Structures are given as structure tokens and as C-alpha cells.
């Protein structure tokens, strides 16, 4: 297994500079860095060629995440809006290829965070989303990109809440580059069993996020059954990347979107955050291989 971390652990706003994090995560013991793709449209091509140059020089792979804004909702009833979403993704995919990023993950089938007050038609949205994803998958394939559908807990999404719903969706899309994605933070709320969910995902599992129930980095005395989770991943022969996605500091748009209303870092400075991330990846590597 390969191990990565999401850059937003250290940030309060989405987007921004990713390059300084490449050498940082290498020093901390990771194999890869996950970056946010939602602001790729604001950067020109040289930003992405530089990103690729640095990541290749350091030997750190890059993966991409995106929580689609409402205007990029593939399940929308507004077909003109969906057309614009495809235009947005076309630009993102081209830039991902420039940067050497071959994996995009998140609630790509819907939008995030969901405004539940606006109401929704789940069966209709499912049908529209599957159709849109089939088009998006072909666009991504042209750039060598794998798409991973992250099952989100009920408070953040409604279309895919657990592994069964994710499998159902991925099988309906039926494209080689569209995969199931699970995250222990969401699984902790929705799944009957971590192990059964991972076993059921099997060969469909394309990406895996880890975090404690309160989104702190995994640790030996944490509350998740880390040993069983790792055993299940090894049992299904998972050879993708495990990305930790800790969020511990309140503030900014990140704090707002993630609903961080207290300081889970207990006043930690960047050096302490670094040490916690390094200890976490060491713990997982030793436990899971």
C-alpha cells in the first residue's frame, strides 16, 4: 500500500500553494500528496508543469480531490448547467495531466456540502448523475484519469451514503475508470461493519481515506479498529493509496465546510501537526504494510 495526506490539514482555505507541501510530506514519511482541484481553473499551465517537475524530482505522487460546487452538480435538472460543468472538468482534466495527476476523488457524482433545505429527488438525481458520469468518465479516460466516487455520510450528502449505494452507482455507470471510494470518517457513521464494507467493495475499491471519528489523524490509541481495517484492505488485495485527511483546526472556508467549531489540535503549532502526521503514517505503515 502507498500512503498519502491531504494538504488541507495545514490550510484554512481551499486552493493555494501545493508545491511547498511536496518536500514536507516526503520528510514526514509519505509516498504521496493529495491536492484540491477545485481552483485549477484559476491557475495557468506553468503552475501545473512546475507541480509535476517538483513532484517527480522528490518522488512524491500526486492525487486530486474535489467536492463539486453546486454549479458542477452532474445530477442537476438544468442540462445547460451540466454542460458548463463538463467544460470545467475538461479544463481540470487537461491540467491534471500536465501535473501528472491520474486520480480524482470526492463526491463527483453530486455536489458538496449539500444544502438539504433545497430538497432533492434521489431516484431522478441518481439517473441523471449516472448518465453524466458516463460522459465524464470518457473525458477523464482521454487524460488517463481514474475517477473515485466517495461515499459521504448523511449529513454531507444523500446520493451515496454507504458502500452498497456506491457499488450500485459504480456498477450502473459501468466504466473501467470509475471506482468506489471509502473514507473511515464517513464509514464510522454509515456502515454496519468496516470489514464487511471493504470486503464488499473488493476490486471496485479505487481510493481510501482514513481518519478518526473526529477527523484527527489515525493513531494507535484511536477509536477506529485500525488493525481490522488494514487486514480487510490486505485481504482484498488493495494496492491503491491510503490518504489521511485530518482536519483539526477551526477557521476559514475549510473550517466552515468541514464544520470544525473547536480546536481539535489543542493549540498545536505547525511543528506539532507535522509530528502527529509523521507518527500517524508510521503507525499505519507498521500495522498494515
Q: How far is the CB of 156 from Mn ion (least distance, A)?
A: 10
Residue 229: enclosing H or E segment and its boundaries?
helix 226-235
Residue in 190, 191, 212, 245 annotated catalytic: 245
Residue 48: enclosing H or E segment and its boundaries?
helix 45-58
Q: How far is the CB of 16 from Mn ion (least distance, A)?
A: 19
Q: How far is the CB of 182 from Mn ion (least distance, A)?
A: 9
DSSP 252-265: HHHHHHHT--S-TT
Neighbour tally for 227: CB within 10 Å:
10
Q: How far is the CB of 150 from Mn ion (least distance, A)?
A: 6
Mask for 173-192, x = binds Mn ion (CB under 5 A): ----------x---------
Nearer to Mn ion, 48 or 183 (CB): 183
Nearer to Mn ion, 60 or 182 (CB): 182
Q: Which parts of 231-250 interact with Mn ion (CB under 5 A)?
A: 245
For the stretch 13-22, contacts whose Cβ atoms lie closer than 8 Å and that sit 24 or more positions apart, written own/partner, are 13/252, 13/253, 13/254, 14/38, 14/39, 14/253, 14/254, 14/257, 15/39, 15/42, 18/51, 18/62, 19/50, 19/51, 19/54, 22/54, 22/55, 22/58, 22/60
Active site residue 165: no
The yes or no reply on residue 31 touching Mn ion (CB under 5 A) is: no
Nearer to Mn ion, 67 or 132 (CB): 67
CA–CA distance, 2 with 218 (Å, rounded to integer): 15
Contacts of 79 (CB under 8 A, 6+ apart): none
Nearer to Mn ion, 128 or 209 (CB): 209
Active site residue 156: no
Nearer to Mn ion, 129 or 184 (CB): 184
Residue in 11, 34, 146, 150 annotated catalytic: 150
Q: Which parts of 191-220 interact with Mn ion (CB under 5 A)?
A: 209
Residues forming the site for Mn ion (CB under 5 A): 183, 209, 245
**What positions carry a catalytic annotation?**
150, 245
Amino acid at each position: 500500500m502507498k500512503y498519502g495526506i491531504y494538504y488541507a490539514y495545514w490550510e484554512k482555505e481551499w486552493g493555494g500553494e501545493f508545491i511547498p507541501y511536496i518536500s514536507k510530506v516526503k520528510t514526514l514519511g509519505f509516498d504521496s500528496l493529495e491536492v484540491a482541484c477545485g481552483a485549477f481553473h484559476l491557475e495557468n499551465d506553468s503552475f501545473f508543469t512546475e507541480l509535476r517537475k517538483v513532484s517527480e524530482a522528490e518522488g512524491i505522487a500526486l492525487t486530486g480531490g474535489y467536492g463539486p460546487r453546486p454549479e458542477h452538480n452532474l445530477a442537476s435538472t438544468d442540462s445547460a448547467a451540466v454542460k458548463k460543468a463538463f467544460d470545467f472538468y475538461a479544463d481540470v482534466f487537461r491540467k491534471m495531466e500536465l501535473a501528472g495527476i491520474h486520480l480524482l476523488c470526492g463526491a463527483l457524482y453530486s455536489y458538496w456540502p449539500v444544502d438539504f433545505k433545497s430538497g432533492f429527488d434521489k431516484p431522478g438525481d441518481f439517473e441523471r448523475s449516472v448518465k453524466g458520469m458516463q460522459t465524464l468518465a470518457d473525458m477523464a479516460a482521454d487524460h488517463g484519469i481514474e475517477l473515485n466516487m466517495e461515499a459521504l455520510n448523511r449529513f454531507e450528502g444523500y446520493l451515496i451514503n454507504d458502500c452498497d449505494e456506491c457499488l450500485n452507482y459504480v456498477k450502473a455507470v459501468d466504466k473501467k475508470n470509475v471506482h468506489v471510494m471509502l473514507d473511515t470518517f464517513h464509514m464510522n457513521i454509515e456502515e454496519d461493519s468496516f470489514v464487511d464494507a471493504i470486503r464488499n467493495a473488493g476490486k471496485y475499491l479505487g481510493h481510501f481515506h482514513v481518519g478518526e471519528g473526529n477527523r484527527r489523524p489515525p493513531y494507535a490509541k484511536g477509536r477506529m479498529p485500525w488493525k481490522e481495517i488494514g487486514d480487510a484492505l490486505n485481504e482484498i488485495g488493495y494496492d491503491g493509496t491510503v490518504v489521511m485527511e485530518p482536519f483539526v483546526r477551526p477557521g476559514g472556508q475549510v473550517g466552515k465546510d468541514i464544520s470544525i467549531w473547536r480546536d481539535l489540535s489543542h493549540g498545536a503549532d505547525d511543528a506539532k501537526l507535522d509530528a502527529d502526521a509523521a507518527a500517524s503514517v508510521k503507525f499505519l505503515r507498521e500495522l498494515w504494510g
